[in-house]
Amino acid sequence: MSRLHTPPPPSGPPAWDGPPPEVAHPVQRNLIGEIKALQGRISIRWRLTLTYGALFFAVGAVLLFVMYTLVGLAISTAWPPIESRGYPPEVAQQIEAWWASHRDLAIESARAELLNRSLMALVGVGVLALIFGYVVADRALLPVKQMTATARRLSETSLAHERIGLQGPDDELKELADTFDAMLTRLNTAFDAQRRFVDNASHELRTPLAINRTVLEVALADPEASEDLKVLGRTLLGTTARNERLIEGLLLLARSDRELSVRKPVDVREVARTAVEQLAPFAAEESVTIEHDLHSAPATGDPVLLERCVSNLVENGIKHNSGPNGKVWVRTGMVGRGAVVQVANTGPHVPAYEVESLFEPFRRLNSDRVQSAKGAGLGLSIVRAIAGAHGGAVTAVPRDGGGLVVTVRLPESGAAIGSQQSAR
């Protein structure tokens, strides 16, 4: 076990951030496409507010047009006639034309004044309409905010006693809240059944295996036991140990898929250091060298599960190595605001299309079940389950020259709680 002073030596560019993203070609959008894309980025509260404001402006514009028309009709109807009798016809005609021009001028002036003042009033009241529309939208979305806050607070331990309990008329929001409460009840029942199953399975499966192991150890300790019996006993002990590891892995996988019961600050560097120290003897037995470059990487979660996560990665790197002179590289650090731990190893070539299937339970490279001593095929499944329970993710890429580069990313301290609860 040694400390690494240079970047991990997998050939090619470092895979600290996983495989590079595919090159994205810019999409040319027209005006309609830009408007549709903008709609997807505006929150529902602002969409409701803009809808209220647009409706108000539309109704105000229609009302302004109607008033503009009615003012002209009212002035034209109420305009008093002029008395032109007693004048010569030419003079009377001039007087009536002069009087009509004054009427038209009055109508035009009244309409212009109405339009100017109405537009200013429409703008001022429109701003108030947007403000009141935002308030109304906020009040309308208050039950949704309550449901969201309840969903964020919920965890596996609080499902039994916390519900939304929305009060009000039997409308769409009340129906949605009641449906959500019924779903929480079913989830609580399912979690209780899962907890009981895991506990019962842990007791019922471990006990007979422990008894078998004790009986075999006592039989092997008997000095009068024959050599054939000892060979059989050692074989059965190996089978029993493998079954115990299998059961332990299945139970851990079941617990990892559940909501975290322990959340506290933890430095992934210390977790990785502990895992490396514990597996150093095993690496020495396999003639594998572990090199590490550990930097502080604070996170929030269950230290025991995180230690098991890193241990599984390092143990997999040792088991599935290239034999003598093999190497395992372990790194921890921060990428952005998240903690990252990366484990790379020498070993057989791993096709890129086989990488994702390695995270499935009981899957091995090339479906190899003959070399069962290397494990039960649950190591990477447990790693993914633990990372998911912490709101993180796991990626793996084939290492140039053989082996894998597995990267676990955890969210920044405190972010995993909200995201995980929201997901549930």
Section 212-230 average pLDDT: 81
Residue 15: what pLDDT?
A: 46
- % pLDDT > 90, the chain: 4
Section 95-101 average pLDDT: 81
Give the burial class of 32: count Cβ atoms within 10 A of its Cβ; 0-12 exposed, 13-18 middle, 19 or more buried: exposed
Residue 419: what pLDDT?
A: 42
Which of 187-191, 247-251, 254-258, 330-334 comes out lowest in average pLDDT? 254-258
- pLDDT tens column, 231-289: 888 888 877 776 776 676 667 656 655 556 678 899 999 999 999 998 898 888 888 88
Residue 7: what pLDDT?
A: 40
Residues 6+ apart with CB under 8 A from 108: none
Section 176-188 average pLDDT: 83
- Asked if residue 384 lies in contact with residue 394, where contact means CB atoms within 8 angstroms, the answer is yes
- % pLDDT > 70, the chain: 76
The string of DSSP codes covering 104-132 is HHHHHHHHHHHHHHHHHHHHHHHHHHHHH
Residue 25: what pLDDT?
A: 46
Residue 403: what pLDDT?
A: 85
The phi and psi torsions of 338 (rounded to 5 degrees) equal: -110, 150
Residues 6+ apart with CB under 8 A from 259: 155, 156, 157, 191, 389, 420, 424
> Diameter of the chain by CA atoms?
154
Section 77-90 average pLDDT: 74
Residue 412: what pLDDT?
A: 73
Section 313-329 average pLDDT: 85
Degrees, nearest 5: CA angle 142-145-146? 90
Strands 404-410 and 393-398: antiparallel
What are the angstrom distances between the C-alpha of 84 and each of 78, 81, 90? 18, 9, 11
- pLDDT tens column, 152-176: 777 655 666 777 777 777 777 788 8
Domains and their CATH numbers in the chain: 31-140 (no CATH), 263-423 (3.30.565.10)
- pLDDT tens column, 19-35: 434 444 444 556 666 66
Residues 104, 402: Cα–Cα separation, whole Å: 93
Mean pLDDT of the chain: 76
Residue 314: what pLDDT?
A: 92
pTM over 0.85: no
The H or E element spanning position 288 is: strand 288-294
Q: What is the DSSP letter of 266?
A: E
For tokens 């089978």, the residue is: 239
Does pLDDT of 8 surpass 60?
Answer: no
Does pLDDT of 18 surpass 60?
Answer: no
Section 140-156 average pLDDT: 76
Q: Is 8 helix (H, G, I), strand (E, B) or coil?
A: coil
Radius of gyration of the chain (CA): 38
Highest mean pLDDT among 230-239, 272-281, 383-392, 412-421: 272-281
Q: Is 165 helix (H, G, I), strand (E, B) or coil?
A: coil
Residues 171, 84: Cα–Cα separation, whole Å: 70
Of the two residues 25 and 228, the one the predictor is more confident about is: 228
